[in-house]
Chain A
Amino acid sequence: MLDAAPVEETLLEVNNIEVIYNHVILVLKGVSLTVPKGGITALLGGNGAGKTTTLKAISQLLHSERGEVTKGSIAYRGNSVAGLNPADLVKRGVIQVMEGRHCFEHLTIEENLLTGSYTRRDRGQIAADLDKVYKYFPRLKERRKSQAGYTSGGEQQMCAIGRALMSKPETILLDEPSMGLAPQLVEEIFGIVKDLNEKEGVSFLLAEQNTNVALRFAHYGYILESGRVVMDGPAADLRENPDVKEFYLGMSEEGRKSYRDVRSYRRRKRWLS
């Protein structure tokens, strides 16, 4: 699990993109990354670093929020995604699970899952896939008749991932699955993500603030800071990197430091990157 995935074909290639919201606010200032087939790629960084924006730029959900990619390119399987709409990408196998779950509150869990199959034409297969989702998320099967709005945060996160699975995706863009969940649940959900990756061959691009968990499950990681990639490497290397340890994992070799030291460190690091 800790080893880097064997080098395979590249699914997704993001090349030096810039994103501007509302024609004025520059959010991404040149982000490049690649997602290999069959891998779990983590996109790390704090609040406002640009993780969500990067995912939305890929899934084309940016337009509905008045954002646009002004420079650079995004290609999936070698084809540019510019000018496509989210439905086109879902049909090509790329689907985003948004931050904060976004289940359809007044629909039942089962109806939520079925909306995931909206773009599919192979009707006969859908029931079988529903069973498969229930196999990975047995809890959803128990709650299938409940309105999603009344289920717990963990169940909603499972519902959101299950809903994405119903589209038969090749790549899932998973945004902050750990948000607001108890540590035990976070482990459970990441465990399922890993299962899906290994058994179903689904590739993941995972945006996470919880660096610790993300680096344990991912194969490769990118660290974003105010709209730029400041560091990247195999997850195992990143976990051993002293800067990552200090700034993102909260560990340091010299024990606790005063706030003043931390501040100067941050400044130094910014300077270096």
Chain B
Amino acid sequence: MTADFYYGIEVVLNGLMAGVLYALVALGFVLIFKASGIFNYAQGVMALFSALTLVGIMNGQIPFAHLINSIFGTHIHHFGWHVPAVLAILLTAGVMVLLAWCVQRFIFRHLVNQEPIILFMATIGLAYFMEGFGDLMWNSEIKKLDVGIPQGGSFWIEDMTSGLGGDAFYGFFIDQLDIVAAIVAIILVIILVAFSQYTKQGRAMRAVADDHQAALSVGISLNFIWVLVWSLAGFVALVAGIMWGAKSGVQFSLSLIALKALPVLMLGGFTSIPGAIVGGLIVGVGEKLFEFLIGAPFLGGATENWFAYMLALVFLVFRPQGLFGEKIIERV
């Protein structure tokens, strides 16, 4: 019993860490959805794109090298320098802001007042465009991302906890990267909440989320706010991209994690920043624990693939606005 019990705790801890990463992606969705009512299918691809860009800049890769080579018959590929991680992250953040501006200027500015489904389709188009564009710009091979985050098990936790559950238990195994990811996510959320609650632009952002027309009438520029929101979402995508990229390499499957963010959002509510976090944690812990307790012993395993979606389905039936979804204020 005891060893199993402690294994259970380890499963929960690992679930929490995985949940943090889900939450990071979900956070980007919430930001854009709240302020503009756009469900941004491209959020996952934005994480991929930002990770690609970060690796490219760090390694001194020449953007569009393949394209240039095939047109001019040259053989260039790298500048031959390496950019330090911090500087590269800043540059990538700049690229994400530029991307936000382009998205607003060339796509959504022309789609003001359109149906939500049309905006959604536009983001699907954007997702596939960015995927191809990212490949064209930085090549499509799998890349290793190392921004200096420590990796591997944290031995002090293992040492401290080994023997807790008898001789067969060697202590909790928690990846250091996951711990860093959790800390970064917490800091990011605190910054985002403080920004939206206590600054003028944050207030304007919430005002736009509530009522576009009224925001316009007091002189808030919707275009500016939307660029701001897409920039923030790009920034969150960058953080998520760094964490996932460091964990499992920068590759196409990175954009698929966005899909896991969907059940997270249904749990947490599409309009709540804390909801995205809690939803992410519940999905992370839930799927690991379900696999450990029921999936592996009774159902033949691999339940992690679908557990989150089933959970979301249950939520949709019984609490459609999610755990923390904005209450629809109705006056009687």
- With A66-B113, A107-B206 given, is the CB distance from A102 to B329 under 8 Å? no
List chain A residues, Cβ under 8 A from B221: 85, 87
* Of A86, A90, A118, A163, the contact of B200 (CB 8 Å cutoff): A118
Min Cβ gap A79→B in Å is: 17
A107–B210 alpha-carbon span in the complex (Å): 8
A64–B213 alpha-carbon span in the complex (Å): 8
List chain A residues, Cβ under 8 A from B212: 64
Is there contact, CB below 8 Å, between A87 and B220?
yes
Is there contact, CB below 8 Å, between B210 and A147?
no
Give A208-224 as 1s and 0s: 1 = Cβ < 8 Å from B's Cβ atoms: 00000000000000000
Min Cβ gap B213→A in Å is: 6
- With A115-B203, A118-B220 given, is the CB distance from A65 to B214 under 8 Å? no
A106–B209 alpha-carbon span in the complex (Å): 9
When C-beta atoms are compared, the residue in chain B nearest to A166 turns out to be B218
- With A104-B206, A107-B210 given, is the CB distance from A64 to B113 under 8 Å? yes
Is there contact, CB below 8 Å, between B220 and A105?
no
Is there contact, CB below 8 Å, between B219 and A167?
yes
Is there contact, CB below 8 Å, between A115 and B217?
no
- Contacting A at CB under 8 A, from B15-74, are none
Is there contact, CB below 8 Å, between A102 and B113?
no
- With A64-B212, A96-B217 given, is the CB distance from A107 to B207 under 8 Å? yes
Size of B's binding interface in residues, CB under 8 A = 23
A100–B153 alpha-carbon span in the complex (Å): 59
Give B202-242 as 1s and 0s: 1 = Cβ < 8 Å from A's Cβ atoms: 01101101111111111111000000000000000000000
Is A235 engaged at the interface, CB distance under 8 Å to the other chain? no
Size of A's binding interface in residues, CB under 8 A = 35
Min Cβ gap B168→A in Å is: 53
List chain A residues, Cβ under 8 A from B203: 107, 111, 114-115
Is there contact, CB below 8 Å, between B210 and A118?
no
When C-beta atoms are compared, the residue in chain B nearest to A163 turns out to be B218
Give A68-86 as 1s and 0s: 1 = Cβ < 8 Å from B's Cβ atoms: 0000000000000000011
List chain A residues, Cβ under 8 A from B220: 87, 115, 118
Is A95 engaged at the interface, CB distance under 8 Å to the other chain? yes
Is B317 engaged at the interface, CB distance under 8 Å to the other chain? no
* Of A64, A98, A104, A119, the contact of B210 (CB 8 Å cutoff): A104
Is there contact, CB below 8 Å, between B217 and A118?
no
* Of B112, B214, B218, the contact of A167 (CB 8 Å cutoff): B218
Give A129-149 as 1s and 0s: 1 = Cβ < 8 Å from B's Cβ atoms: 000000000000000000101
A19–B141 alpha-carbon span in the complex (Å): 56
When C-beta atoms are compared, the residue in chain B nearest to A111 turns out to be B203
- Contacting B at CB under 8 A, from A27-65, are 59, 61, 64-65
Min Cβ gap B283→A in Å is: 26
A252–B200 alpha-carbon span in the complex (Å): 54
Is A154 engaged at the interface, CB distance under 8 Å to the other chain? no
Min Cβ gap A14→B in Å is: 18
Min Cβ gap A240→B in Å is: 35
Is there contact, CB below 8 Å, between B218 and A147?
no
- With A102-B211, A149-B331 given, is the CB distance from A86 to B113 under 8 Å? no
Q: Which residue among A59, A102, A164 has the maximum number of chain B CB atoms within 10 Å of its CB?
A: A102
Is A206 engaged at the interface, CB distance under 8 Å to the other chain? no
Min Cβ gap B195→A in Å is: 14
A251–B31 alpha-carbon span in the complex (Å): 55
A201–B76 alpha-carbon span in the complex (Å): 69
A5–B213 alpha-carbon span in the complex (Å): 33
Is there contact, CB below 8 Å, between B113 and A106?
no
* Of B113, B204, B207, B218, the contact of A164 (CB 8 Å cutoff): B218
When C-beta atoms are compared, the residue in chain B nearest to A101 turns out to be B214
* Of A86, A111, A150, the contact of B219 (CB 8 Å cutoff): A86
Is there contact, CB below 8 Å, between A104 and B211?
yes
Is there contact, CB below 8 Å, between A104 and B214?
yes
Is B4 engaged at the interface, CB distance under 8 Å to the other chain? no
Is A17 engaged at the interface, CB distance under 8 Å to the other chain? no
When C-beta atoms are compared, the residue in chain B nearest to A164 turns out to be B218
When C-beta atoms are compared, the residue in chain B nearest to A112 turns out to be B207
Is A229 engaged at the interface, CB distance under 8 Å to the other chain? no
* Of B206, B218, B331, the contact of A118 (CB 8 Å cutoff): B218
A95–B217 alpha-carbon span in the complex (Å): 7
* Of B112, B214, B219, the contact of A119 (CB 8 Å cutoff): B219
Is A227 engaged at the interface, CB distance under 8 Å to the other chain? no
- Contacting A at CB under 8 A, from B145-196, are none
List chain A residues, Cβ under 8 A from B204: 115, 118
Min Cβ gap B132→A in Å is: 33
Is A91 engaged at the interface, CB distance under 8 Å to the other chain? yes
* Of B113, B206, B214, B219, the contact of A91 (CB 8 Å cutoff): B219
Min Cβ gap A168→B in Å is: 11
A85–B112 alpha-carbon span in the complex (Å): 15
A residues with CB within 8 A of B: 59, 61, 64-66, 85-87, 89-91, 95-98, 102-107, 111-112, 114-116, 118-119, 147, 149-150, 153, 163-164, 167
What are the nearest 10 A-B pairs in CB distance?
Answer: A90-B219, A149-B329, A102-B214, A119-B219, A87-B219, A104-B210, A104-B207, A115-B207, A86-B216, A96-B217
CB pairs A–B below 8 angstroms (23 shown): A61-B213, A64-B112, A64-B113, A86-B217, A91-B219, A96-B217, A97-B217, A105-B210, A111-B203, A114-B200, A115-B203, A115-B207, A115-B218, A115-B220, A116-B218, A118-B200, A118-B204, A118-B218, A119-B219, A147-B329, A150-B331, A153-B331, A167-B219
